[in-house]
Amino acid sequence: MRLSDSGNCSSLPTVGQLPALKELYVERMKVVKSVGGELYGGNQPFQCLEKLEFREMPEWEEWLPSPSGGESPDFPRLQELILYDCPKLVGDLPAHLPSLKTLDVSECEVLHENRASNTLNTESLRGSLEKLTIMGCPGLSLLLESTETLPSLQMLRIGSVGGSKWLPHNSNRLRSLTLYGCSSLLSFPTNGLPTTLTSLRIQNCKKLEFLSREMMANLTSLQSLYLIRSCDSLRSFPLGIFPKLAYLEIWSCNLESLSVSVEGGADENLNILDIRYCPNLVSFPDGGLPTPNLTYFSVRGCENLKLLPDRMHTLTALQGLEISNLPNVVSFAQGGLPPNLQTLFIRNWDLVETLLNEQLLPATLHTLLIYDASNLKFLPKEGLPASLSYLRIRGCPSLKKRYGNKKGKDWRNIARIPCINIDDEITII
C-alpha cells in the first residue's frame, strides 16, 4: 500500500489491522504531524508487515506506540524500516523490532535530539539487524556507539553524524562499510577495521588519515575500495597490498602516484582501476601497472599527468580503456595499446591523431568513442580496424562535416561500420 502526496490529510488511515499487508509506503503527507493510534487501529497491529517506509514528511514530529502498551511488538515481522527526509521528527522509534534486518535513517536532523535514552533497543536487534544506515542524523550518534552489540551486522553506512568519532572494530561479520562526510573522523581505530570487510567506501572525509600499511595488510578479504574527496594526506597508493582487491576507484584526491607494495609483486586480482580528477597525479609505477588481469582502466581529469603507464601492450586482459581530459599527455608509451582491447573512449585529440595516423588501434576493437577532439580534421582511410561495430563522435565539428549523416564527402570511408553515432545522429547500416 502506498499513501502519498496528500496536502490536506492531517492523519493517516487505519491500516494496521489489514491482515495481509506486507509493505507500506508513506510519502509526502505534508501536514501530518503525528503518527500513532489512528494508524495502528487497536491491539496487535501489522501482524504481517515486512517493509515500512516514510519519506519526505516535512511536518511529522512524533511517532507514538500502539495502544497495546508494549505487551506485544507493534511490528513483529518487520524486516525493513526506512525513514528519509523527516526533518522535524523527534523522539524514539519503535522499541521492539525483533525481526528487523535493515534500518535506514537519512536526513532526519533532529531525531533523538536531547534525549538521554537510546533511540532503539539494541538488545532486541541483536539477532536480526544486518544492514544499518545513518545519514544526516547527528542526533543518532549515540546509537553508533552501541553497534558493537549487534553481532549480525554486515553492512554499515555512516554519514554526517555530527561529532561522532566512532568506527567499528570489534564486529566479526561486517562486510561493507561506507563513511560519508564524517568531518570529525581523523583516524581509524588503532587495532584497525574488521578483517571481514569486503567493501570500503570513504567519501568527503578529507581529514581522515588513511589506513596504515599494517592495517591495509590485515584486510585480506577486501574486494572493493572507493576513495572520493577523502584522505588528503594519502599521496601514494600501494598496488598489491590488498590481496583480493578487484575494484579500485580514486576520485578527487591528493594522490600523486601509484606504487608497488612488494618489490616485483603483482596485483593479481585487480580487474577495474578508475582514477579521476586527481590534479596532483604525476606518475604510475616504473615498468608499468603490475595488474596482469586488469579488464578496465580509466584515467580522467588528471591535468599534471604527462605519461600513461609503461608497457600497456602487456595488459592482455584489458578490454576497456578510457582516457579523458589529460591535457599534458601527448603520446602513448612504446608498444601502443593492449592487444585485446574492445572498447576505447578517448578525449585527447592529439592522442586520437597518434592512434589513427600510426594505426595503433587493436584488431579486436569493436567500440570507439571520440569526444571533443575539435582539432581532428579527418579519420585515416586505413586507421580503423575491421572489427569496429560502433563508432561515436561528439564535439568534433570537422569530423561531423566530413562523415555526418551519409552526406559527408568521406562518408564512404566509415560506411561499413554497422552503427555510427555523430552528435546523437544515429545511422544503423
Residue 428 sits in which domain range?
350-429
Domain boundary among 139, 166, 193: 166
Give me the chain's average pLDDT, please: 86
More confident position, 71 or 364: 364
Residue 95: its pLDDT value, please?
75
For the chain, what is the domain count?
2
Is 426 among the domain residues? yes
**Which pLDDT score is estimated for 167?**
67
DSSP symbols for 45-71: --SS--EEEEE--TT--EEPPPTTTTS
Q: Which tens digits make up the pLDDT trace of 101-145?
A: 999 999 988 776 554 444 455 566 667 889 999 898 876 766 666
Cβ 204 vs Cβ 180: under 8 Å: yes
Residue 109 lies in a domain: yes
145-156 confidence digits (pLDDT tens) = 666 667 888 999
pLDDT of res. 263 = 47
pLDDT at position 251 over 80: yes
CB 136 within 8 A of CB 106: yes
| Residue bearing the bigger pLDDT, 399 or 335 | 399
User: Does any domain span residue 372?
Assistant: yes
**Whole-angstrom Cα distance, residue 397 to residue 376?**
9
* Nearest-angstrom CA–CA distance, 39 and 22: 15
pLDDT on residue 175: 95
Tell me which of 166, 182, 199 is where a domain ends: 166
Task: Report pLDDT for 116.
Answer: 43
Query: Mean of the pLDDT values across residues 44-70?
Result: 88
Please write the tens of the pLDDT for every residue from 342-385.
Answer: 999 988 777 887 787 777 888 899 999 998 877 788 887 776 88
Residue 389 lies in a domain: yes
Q: Report helix, strand or coil for 84.
A: strand
Question: Does some domain include residue 105?
Answer: yes
* pLDDT at residue 117 in the model: 46
Domain boundary among 133, 166, 199: 166
Between 253 and 385, where is the model more confident?
Answer: 253
374 vs 388: which has the higher pLDDT:
388
Residue 423 within any structural domain of the chain: yes
Let me know if residue 307 belongs to a domain. no
pLDDT for the residue 222: 96
| Residue 192 placed within a domain | no
Q: Are the C-beta atoms of 85 and 57 separated by less than 8 Å? A: yes
pLDDT at 266 over 60: yes
What totals of helices (H) and strands (E) does the chain contain, helices first?
Answer: 6, 23
| b (16+ CB within 10 A) / e for 190-224 | eebbbebbbbbbbbbbeebebbeeebbebbebbbb
- The DSSP secondary structure of 281-300, one letter per residue, reads --B--TTS---TT--EEEEE
- C-alpha 236/C-alpha 280 separation (Å) is 11
